[in-house]
Amino acid sequence: MTVPTNETLLVVDGHSLAFRAFFALPVDNFSTSSGQATNAVWGFATMLAQVIDAEKPDHLGVAFDVKGGTFRNEMLPQYKGTREAAPEELLTQLPLIQRMLTALGVTYIEKSGFEGDDVIATLATMGDKAGYHTLVLSGDRDAFQLVDDNVTVLYPGHHFKDLKHMTPQSIVDKYKVTPAQYPDLAALRGETADNIPGVPGVGDGFAAKWINQFGSLDGICEHADEIGGKKGESLRANIDQVKLNRKVNALVRDVDLGVDIEDLTFGTVDVAQIDALFKELEFGPRTRSRVLKTFNTGAKVSNTSGAGESTNNEQDKQDSNLDLNLPEPTSITAPEQFDEWVKAHRAEVKVPGEIADFTVSDYGDGSQRHTVCGDAVGHAWTVAAWGDERPGRATAQAVAVATATSAAIVPLPITDTLRAQFARFLKSEHSRTIVHGYKELLHLLGAVDLDMDLPMFDTKLAGYLTQPDFHADSLKQAAEHFLDIHFTETEQPSQGTLDFDDDQVEEDPNEHRLRDLAIIRSLAVTLGPIIDEREQCWLMRAIELPVSRVLHGMEHTGAKVDSVRLVSMRDQFAAEARQAQEMAWEYAGTEINLQSPKQLQKVLFEDMGLKPTKRTKSGSYTTNAAALQDLYVKSVDNERANGFLGALLRHREINKLKQIVQTLIDATNTSDERIHTTFEQTVAATGRLSSVDPNLQNIPNRNAAGREIRGVFVPGEGYEALMSCDYSQVELRIMADLSGDEALIEAFRSGADFHKYVASMVYKLPVDQITGDQRSHVKAMSYGLAYGLSTYGLAQQLKIAPREAEALKNRYFDTFGKVHDYLESLVANAREKGYTETIFGRRRYFPALHSTNRVAREAAERAALNAPIQGSAADIMKIAMIRAEQTLAEAHVKSRIILQIHDELVVEIAPGEGDQVTELVRNAMEHAVDLAVPLDVSCGIGSDWQLAAH
DNA sequence: GCAGCCACGTA
DNA sequence: CGTACGTGGCTGCC
């Protein structure tokens, strides 16, 4: 009677979800003015919407328990005693949830004499038989017995959002028994949540051991006498209870529900009913639109991003299955197998010599960037690895090499012989491989002592180069975005496919590995031609890939910190912050939370009656440092307010430092007392790097107290100093070069105090007559240029009248006319071409330049003005890093780069290498590119990062 | 439980 | 009403 289908059925355990919502959300914050609790209703709606958005089911049914007992209570009187004791505040919400479901057009089912679990089991069984892929959303582990190849249980983790997809494999991995055996295991262990005692002293582990030994619970009962020890005794004493448990936890799969799966549609909301209900519950417009967005299009329309045209879900899914050709797996365990596999598939790999042999020795001025990737990307090896790729603690679970048709998957750990073969393969074939995330791959390979020289193509980098504004944080997301394919099979939570936790429950691991390999190849085939067409292959192969390698080294090495000093700084800051807090409290007269802008607003603008400051985006009054400082100055004759503001400002500053130090403490590896940050290479839209976990690119540097923190970064064992080199005014130098402005070029070539020199040109005065104010005003103007600074902004920053700022700007552009023209041409070109370009061809697209919304358009104009300048500076620094590392390697020194802060490199200096390494790095930075102006690099060396300042 | 705001650190 | 980032704390959600 049924046709095979690719459709998905979602069955929801209504009680389980309501419980979850009720206990997750504070009831105090969710109740109507008349006192009706609404937290479970609201939570139910949002959580269900979340799951629907993620899973996009075609059919949906919700099951509820019915009041009054079931056959189970007759067998086990205390059954679900704990559940019946649900708080009144939750019970009153169940009818509301059901009303909501009706209004949302969602079918819910309850059947007297049965539990929701039985309804779920029945629906899942019906769905299974009819060929649906069935998802069961339930926090009740009894549902695990339903799992099979077509039934997956979505089981909430600690955070609701990370739903575990329980497949047969993940049940086996976690419990060491099959889904069918799970009820046996649960009977032995018991279920405290349902008030069901098991065998005392027996948990999942022993239960699984016995089940595997004797096959089933029946087997265990037969052989109960053979089980020795305390646990055997305990089992025999409770065997009747266990048998009873087993009867009770078996779900009924053939309840007569009187519905067909096909009837369980959704997607049409009775909006009037929802509005009435939400009004009653006092839910706001945000909730309304959130819910309508999901439920009012529901099963019929794919709500993935795209051209905005709705597509049929089913069609999407079928297409995707055709698009992705999975390679055939070969599992490699013995060394010979690997070599044999390589031999058997070598003929499939066709990469022309001129592509494979690509190297770059001179970066020049960016005029010769015409390497092609060709269609070779489709005929290369794919290399991938899976595991925890966090620097400093990487562990790998498997590595693989694949062609289009076949995949050799090597589970880890491996024998030395196999490793040697793999290493030999990588050494000879690296330039004929494609990868996704070379840097992350290096961390994983490094975890098993493998290394790999540059691949020919990286799909992660390629995706970034083609669309730097889009950021996929998993391979799956990249596939959805670039390939427009969506997955019918279940996924593990959206962790990122190449990055899952050790303890996470997994589907059959090779299944997603094959899929990953197929995605990488598919991405390469899609992105390769785009990269070629834009002439960005050189950018990837000469800059991004080599810089990935440098970054891997920096992340792996990490930065040594003085933990003792960190802790004492933390304590010092904590004490000072506490003092400032107490002083603030005394002035305020109440012990408010100084970290709460809301409470501060009340004290400042209501209690103290201070003149309101600028408004924030959301309309409240800002309490930021600039505003507080302003109030502080203006409140000299109001002792209370003045005292409070002073203490508050002090608390802000110290507390921030304390927090930064604490973050560093938390991020320090205990094993090596080093901090291993991750440099994100595909996040910043301009081409810059960013640093996360922790961010080491925003360690304080502007005032003395903050700068102290830099002092905790020290050379590690075997090293004697830190060296820091930074570019002076790179962005301005780039503007001088690209604009061809003779005056600005001359200013840089003169080698004088740059800002003073520029000021003398602007004000037409001799250099020695330039005042401090004139210099700083011109300096601010210079720096503001690259950001698209307005006269208003300039006036505000310099605390001068807008008219004066206007005059300054005019004078400045009179002097540097070509800079003005250049900046205008940047925006004009971007408007015409749709994108900006750096010296080395890195693009960024700006669709908003044509926006009719003035605010959006002008923001895009400023960003378009800035992108090529900031981006070219980023390109130059990347080249400098590659050159610096290369020159250090060639000199056979031990010193190594450990940090990059946009225009600064920090190098850990080995004994006796200070002078030599300083010159090597300086040279690498100064000659990264040839510009019309010199690149000025200043270096310093010291026993910590602070002292390395110059 | 989570998204969004606010504030603030860097270049 | 200056670009580019990341992080931590508080808050609303109702």
Element (H, E) at A825: helix A817-833
Q: What is the pLDDT of residues A862-918, one digit of tens each?
A: 999 999 999 999 999 999 999 999 999 999 999 999 999 999 999 999 999 999 999
Q: What is the pLDDT of residues A737-773, one digit of tens each?
A: 999 999 999 999 998 899 999 999 999 999 999 999 9
Q: What is the pLDDT, as a whole number, of residue A309?
A: 33
3-state secondary structure A598-663: HHHHHHHHHHCCCCCCCECCCCCECCCHHHHHHHHHHCCCCHHHHHHHHHHHHHHHHHHHHHHHHH
Residue A200: cis peptide before it, omega within 30 degrees of 0: no
| Cα atoms in the 13 Å half-sphere on the side-chain side of A227 | 23
The model carries a pTM of 0.87
Strands (E), A881-922: 896-900, 904-909
Q: What are the b/e assignments for A831-859, b being 16+ CB within 10 Å?
A: eeeebbbbbbbbbbbbebbeeeeeeeeeb
Q: Is the CB of A892 under 7 A from strand B?
A: no
Please, are residues A524 and A380 in contact by the beta-carbon 8 Å criterion? yes
Could you give the CA distance from residue A846 to residue A857 in angstroms, rounded to a whole number?
9
Judged against a pLDDT cut of 50, whether residue A491 lies above it is answered with no
Q: Closest nucleotide (CA of A788 to C1')?
A: C2
Closest CA to A657 of A591, A588, A712: A712
Please, are residues A940 and A917 in contact by the beta-carbon 8 Å criterion? no
Average pLDDT value for residue range A910-937: 97
* Range list of H helices, A116-194: 116-129, 168-175, 182-189
Residue A304 pLDDT class (50, 70, 90 cuts): very low
**Amino acid whose CA is nearest the C1' of B6:** A597
Could you give the CA distance from residue A770 to residue A758 in angstroms, rounded to a whole number?
10
Q: Of chain A residues 455-484, which have a beta carbon within 7 Å of strand B?
A: none
Could you give the CA distance from residue A887 to residue A138 in angstroms, rounded to a whole number?
59
Task: Quote the radius of gyration of chain A (alpha carbons, Å).
Answer: 33
What share of chain A has pLDDT > 90, as a percent?
80
Q: Is the CB of A159 under 7 A from strand B?
A: yes
Give the phi and the psi of residue A398 in degrees, each rounded to 5: -160, 150
Residue A694: cis peptide before it, omega within 30 degrees of 0: yes
Estimate in Å the CA A735 to C1' C3 gap, whole number: 15
Give the phi and the psi of residue A319 in degrees, each rounded to 5: -60, -45
Q: What is the pLDDT, as a whole number, of residue A306?
A: 34
Could you give the CA distance from residue A125 to residue A254 in angstroms, rounded to a whole number?
8
User: Hunting for tokens 């708080």 — which residue is that?
Assistant: A87
Could you give the CA distance from residue A335 to residue A419 in angstroms, rounded to a whole number?
8
Q: What is the pLDDT, as a whole number, of residue A4?
A: 56
Higher pLDDT, A359 or A428: A428
Residue A315 pLDDT class (50, 70, 90 cuts): very low
Estimate in Å the CA A783 to C1' C2 gap, whole number: 9
**Amino acid whose CA is nearest the C1' of C3:** A787
Average pLDDT value for residue range A780-790: 93
Q: What is the pLDDT, as a whole number, of residue A490?
A: 41
Could you give the CA distance from residue A493 to residue A597 in angstroms, rounded to a whole number?
35
- Strand ranges across the sheet with A328-331: A328-331, A406-411, A395-402, A381-388, A433-435, A457-458
Judged against a pLDDT cut of 70, whether residue A500 lies above it is answered with no
Q: What is the pLDDT of residues A45-59, one digit of tens each?
A: 999 999 998 888 999
Average pLDDT value for residue range A600-607: 93
Q: What is the pLDDT, as a whole number, of residue A310?
A: 34
3-state secondary structure of A373: coil
Q: How many residues does chain A have?
A: 950
Could you give the CA distance from residue A862 to residue A857 in angstroms, rounded to a whole number?
9
Nucleotides of C strand lying within 7 Å of any protein CB atom: 1-14
Q: Is the CB of A268 under 7 A from strand B?
A: no
Please, are residues A190 and A197 in contact by the beta-carbon 8 Å criterion? yes
Give me A132's structure tokens: 């649906």
| β-pair type (A674-675, A559-560) | antiparallel
Q: Is the CB of A681 under 7 A from strand B?
A: no
Q: Closest nucleotide (CA of A860 to C1')?
A: C3
**Amino acid whose CA is nearest the C1' of B11:** A902
Q: What is the pLDDT, as a whole number, of residue A105?
A: 95
How many other C-beta atoms can be found within 10 angstroms of the C-beta atom of residue A793?
A: 15
Closest CA to A51 of A16, A83, A86, A6: A16
Q: What is the pLDDT, as a whole number, of residue A361?
A: 81
Estimate in Å the CA A835 to C1' C12 gap, whole number: 39
Nucleotides of B strand lying within 7 Å of any protein CB atom: 1-3, 5-11
Please, are residues A644 and A607 in contact by the beta-carbon 8 Å criterion? no
| Cα atoms in the 13 Å half-sphere on the side-chain side of A611 | 8
Q: What is the pLDDT, as a whole number, of residue A511?
A: 84
Q: Is the CB of A680 under 7 A from strand B?
A: no
| β-pair type (A395-402, A381-388) | antiparallel
Could you give the CA distance from residue A849 to residue A862 in angstroms, rounded to a whole number?
10
Estimate in Å the CA A876 to C1' C2 gap, whole number: 23
Estimate in Å the CA A875 to C1' B11 gap, whole number: 15
Closest CA to A655 of A544, A714, A549, A576: A576
Cα three-residue angle A261-A263-A268, rounded to 5 degrees: 125
> What letter represents residue A758's amino acid?
V
Could you give the CA distance from residue A803 to residue A801 in angstroms, rounded to a whole number?
5
Estimate in Å the CA A695 to C1' C7 gap, whole number: 8
Distance, C-alpha A657 to centroid of its chain: 25
| Cα atoms in the 13 Å half-sphere on the side-chain side of A351 | 26
Judged against a pLDDT cut of 80, whether residue A501 lies above it is answered with no
Give me A411's structure tokens: 């589970």
3-state secondary structure A741-762: CHHHHHHHHCCCCHHHHHHHHH
Q: Is the CB of A27 under 7 A from strand B?
A: no
Could you give the CA distance from residue A16 to residue A138 in angstroms, rounded to a whole number?
6
Cβ partners under 8 Å of residue A335, min gap 6: A415, A417, A418, A420, A421
Average pLDDT, chain A: 91
Could you give the CA distance from residue A469 to residue A683 in angstroms, rounded to a whole number?
8
